[in-house]
A and B are shown apart, each in its own frame.
Chain A
Amino acid sequence: MECILNTVLVLVVAAAIPGLVNRTRAVLSGRKGPRFFQHLSNVRLLLRKGAVYSPVTTPLFRAVPSVYLGSAAVAALFIPVGDLDPVLSFDGDMIVFAYLLALGRTAIILAAMDTGSAFEGMGASREALYGALVEPAMMFIMATLALVFGFTSFADVFSSAQPLDIQLTIIMLLAAYLLVKILFVESGRVPVDDPRTHLELTMIHEVMCLDYCGVDLGMIHIAGWLKSASLAILAADAASMTFCLRWWAAAPAAVLAAGLSIGIVESTQARNKLSRNTTFILTIAALAALTFFVGYLLQQNIEIG
């Protein structure tokens, strides 16, 4: 029962984040903007369309949307919303989560290479590099959770919620902050990439699916939402651990954290120069390592005291 509620909440969060991003951007730029659920209608339209494939592509190109969406969906099954139980959970499921995201990333990189297009090759190359650099950051955050709570499964970490020490609160807030930053990288948002300029200027994420249309593009969009939602919920869980880790607090927190931060950053900042992205991501990794070590020091201190 709990895991059904959990799954439904993940889906709701996934559907709500893009809506909130769009609304925030519209309000901040003084436009009327699209409806809250306009993106759902857009995808429904895509799912009703046919398809055009380049003659250069191989069957791999056609298989990738299913792999991409499948991996994102299975990854989302590991995510607990607040204190609810996710569908899947076992010791070490953090690692499985990270590698499922890697599976989706590899698949979409190969699909981009399959079109033989210079633009998509460019996107693939950058995605591969940024994906490689963001991996240590992700792992350090998971290691921090494992260190602080002594569990290696998301569900165990977040259901072990006891009143947190004030010092660990800082660690959890930092972890949440870094998860939101990783969300920026993983879903290709400003300042790493700018999804609004839909074609040539979008240098990483959107450029990789330039040759997809119709059903395939719809599946890729849904996978992207699920991926964002998974990371956003993790961030919200970590943050709401400090005051109230309940599903009715964590789910709205996830939508607000991701939606508002993406919306505000995109309305107020410009995209990084590409050469600065490497620094940006390495900074996240360095901060994650720092968080881990601070967590370790605090823990030592607590045990001694």
Chain B
Amino acid sequence: MMLFHYLPVVLAAVTAAVFAAPLRAKVWVSLGITAAAGIALTVLSAPALIYGSAQVFESGGTLPLGFGAALSADPLSALFMILIAFTSISTVLYSKGYVGECLRTMPAAHISLHYTALTVMCLSMMMLVFCDGGYPFLFAWELMTIASFILILFDARRKEVRRAALTYLILMHVGFVLLLVGFVRVEMATGRSDFGALAEYCRTAGDPLPLIVVFLLGFGMKAGLFPMHVWLPEAHPAAPSHVSALMSGVMIKMGVYGILRVAAALPEQAPVTETVGMAILAAGIATGLWGVILAAVQNDMKRLLAYSSIENIGVVMIGLGVAVLGRCCGSDTIAACGMCGALLHTLNHSLFKSLLFFGAGNVYSRLHTASLDSLGGLARYMPVTALLFALATAAICALPPLNGFVSEYLIYSGILGGIAGQSSVMLSAAALAGLALIGGIVVLAFAKLYGVVFLGAPRTHDTVEHAGEADSWCIAAMAMPAAGILCIGLFPQAAVALTCRVAAYCFGARAGFSAAAAELLSEGSGALCRTAWILVAAIVLLAFMRRRALRGRTVAEGETWGCGFTAPNVRMQYTGESFSEGLESVVDSLTQNTVEGRAVDKSEIFPTGHSFKVRRKDRVDSLVAEWWMTSLRAINARMMRLRTGKINHYVLFALLFLLSVFLLSVFNLL
């Protein structure tokens, strides 16, 4: 595959095809390209997954900087390929309905640009997993960043969108520079810059820890590890919903992919591996807890979902940390459980998070608000969206019998296995406490989201007037991840076996690794499958018996019981803010609250109209963003002194510049 020889041609062809297509057909062009590339590349990389070994695609030419090198697919990239292809296709399909609403109000060039960027983003991510490190990898990485930057800017008329997009672009490039430094360092040491060279560097270098930290920071920026997560909750509410779904479902997983590559490159039993394992575990716990607590106190659907993405990355990192530590102390089963859990949770998260963002998009495109407290009772008006959203909610809360539970079960098994086997007990206990608390609070966060938005009575007249079921293309796109959620939840064996093969490959198929661990995992997944079906059978049986019992009896309708109060109204319902009040009182110090307006005072017996708006901001955000901003402003202000507005000064500057060039060349310094 001489991909990079023809890359300019491919990109130009994609752009031309999207721009040339008629307005309504642009989405089909985009979908066609994405689906063709996705399916073709998945098929191409499938042998890697089936045989559990790397597949190299010959390259016929030479290009500088390693761009002519052969592309390759190994089981890890094949697994991510499936994830990318699946979510990309459902995202582009969803955009048919979502962008369809804007076709009349937006200029055609704008739509074309959007679809070009969408297609390029999907393609660049597919390209990414086929590049084995080095400059081609960085090129694909950068292409992905720029395409997603354009995608976020879809609604560029809003000021906060431009701001969020810029924050995103800047932070991504900080991460990019770190990765660049990392790969250059590897190349200096070993002569090559792929991930294999990184493994070699880790084995041979005296102290590989600094370089690994650089890589982890660079990839962690994309993945949204604490405290580098600040771009996520800004970018997601700004971007259109399908873009959020793609970014949250797949793009941040590229950061995870990078971290997995780095973890796989670590030597098996070395002090550095243990340090890195502990660092990943600690980062995972911090990220997960921070994400879930901030998610639970948000009052904006998409911001809540963005924080929940951070939390899920934390869960994945906990799994990976457990795996690396398990590998370090020589326990295959712990390593396998942790790694499979991390990989499967990555896959699962891309399914339920894209479904959740699609659902939020359905709500937003009808009601043009994502604020929890102005929604309510939507299940009545959009029943299919409500049903699918409920499925995703249950899955993300890791409730049995759905897919989120399978992956968290694997991670928990790894942790409890570590405790039972007396290896790194204290660290496992920390991971256990973190994961349990995350699991508990995520239920609170999502019960709040689902309960306030879809259940109860509508809070505004707007809902009653404008709410309605979404476009059927949107529903069709949502059915794809929903099917995935049910499949993995009810038949976990296949997915677990798949991830087990990938885990075995990543950690080196040492003798005994695959066999013993795979047997344990297949036993576990079989047991989960049985339990899932017993649970489903029990629920269905009970529902059936209940229905039979009620047949022939009086089933009446009566107002919701107001405890004797006869004039309840919808404004008395619990709002999102009041639902999480208990938690807020516990975690108040973690957020920085901005309050606009005035709350009703207790002494006001007959309160008049009040407007009250509270926003719970991330403390890290202000810490990071404001520090940068103030120091940049200070430097800027100093530079501004040079801009005097007098022509003679400017002539002087030009003269000084020429003089300096002259002097430098005289002294041979240039």
Q: Does any Cβ of B come within 8 Å of A122's Cβ?
A: yes
- Other-chain residue from B376, B425, B540 in contact with A147 (beta carbon distance below 8 A): B425
Q: Does any Cβ of B come within 8 Å of A170's Cβ?
A: no
On whether the beta carbons of B455 and A113 are closer than 8 Å, the reply is: yes
Question: Which of B267-275, B503-511, B560-568, B630-638 is found at the contact surface with chain A?
Answer: B560-568
Q: Does any Cβ of B come within 8 Å of A159's Cβ?
A: no
- Whole-angstrom CA separation of A293 from B432 in the bound complex: 13
CB distance from B140 to the nearest CB of A (A): 38
Q: Does any Cβ of A come within 8 Å of B558's Cβ?
A: yes
Interface residues in A200-220 by Cβ distance below 8 A to B read 200, 210-211, 214-216, 219
Q: Chain B residue with minimal CB distance to A72?
A: B538
CB distance from A303 to the nearest CB of B (A): 8
Contact string against A for B residues 398-418, beta-carbon threshold 8 Å, 1 for contact and 0 otherwise: 111000010011001100110
Tell me whether A103 and B399 are in contact in the complex, defined as CB-CB below 8 angstroms, given that A50-B550, A114-B451 are known contacts: yes
Contact string against B for A residues 81-111, beta-carbon threshold 8 Å, 1 for contact and 0 otherwise: 0000000101111111001101101100110
- Whole-angstrom CA separation of A116 from B451 in the bound complex: 9
- Whole-angstrom CA separation of A128 from B574 in the bound complex: 13
- Whole-angstrom CA separation of A298 from B513 in the bound complex: 32
How many A-B contacts are there with CB distance less than 8 Å? 263
On whether the beta carbons of A152 and B416 are closer than 8 Å, the reply is: yes
In the complex, which of the residues B377, B433, B534, B578 has the most CB atoms of chain A within 10 Å of its own CB atom?
Answer: B433
Q: Does any Cβ of B come within 8 Å of A252's Cβ?
A: no
Q: Does any Cβ of A come within 8 Å of B559's Cβ?
A: yes
On whether the beta carbons of B444 and A132 are closer than 8 Å, the reply is: yes
Please count how many residues in chain B sit with their CB below 8 Å of the partner chain's CB atoms.
87
Q: Does any Cβ of B come within 8 Å of A184's Cβ?
A: no
On whether the beta carbons of B574 and A70 are closer than 8 Å, the reply is: no
Residues of B within 8 A of A140 (CB): 429, 432-433, 436
- Other-chain residue from A95, A102, A135, A299 in contact with B409 (beta carbon distance below 8 A): A95
- Other-chain residue from B443, B444, B538 in contact with A73 (beta carbon distance below 8 A): B538
Q: Does any Cβ of A come within 8 Å of B542's Cβ?
A: yes
On whether the beta carbons of B421 and A113 are closer than 8 Å, the reply is: no
On whether the beta carbons of A136 and B437 are closer than 8 Å, the reply is: yes
On whether the beta carbons of A215 and B550 are closer than 8 Å, the reply is: yes
On whether the beta carbons of A129 and B456 are closer than 8 Å, the reply is: no
- Whole-angstrom CA separation of A110 from B400 in the bound complex: 16
13 extra A-B contacts, CB within 8 A, seeds A65-B546, A95-B409? A90-B524, A95-B412, A95-B416, A96-B528, A102-B440, A110-B390, A113-B574, A117-B568, A118-B574, A139-B435, A296-B425, A296-B426, A296-B429
Q: Which 9 A-B pairs have the closest CB atoms?
A: A121-B574, A113-B451, A132-B440, A135-B440, A116-B456, A50-B553, A90-B527, A70-B539, A50-B554
- Interface residues of B, Cβ cutoff 8 Å to A: 376-377, 379-380, 383, 386, 390, 394, 397-400, 405, 408-409, 412-413, 416-417, 419-422, 425-426, 428-429, 432-433, 435-437, 439-441, 443-444, 447-448, 450-452, 455-457, 520, 523-524, 527-528, 530-531, 534-535, 538-543, 546, 549-550, 553-563, 568, 570, 572-574, 578-583, 585-586
- Interface residues of A, Cβ cutoff 8 Å to B: 47, 49-58, 60, 63, 65-67, 69-71, 73-74, 77, 88, 90-96, 99-100, 102-103, 105-106, 109-110, 113-119, 121-122, 124-126, 128-129, 131-136, 138-140, 142-143, 146-147, 149-152, 199-200, 210-211, 214-216, 219, 275, 278, 289, 292-293, 296, 299
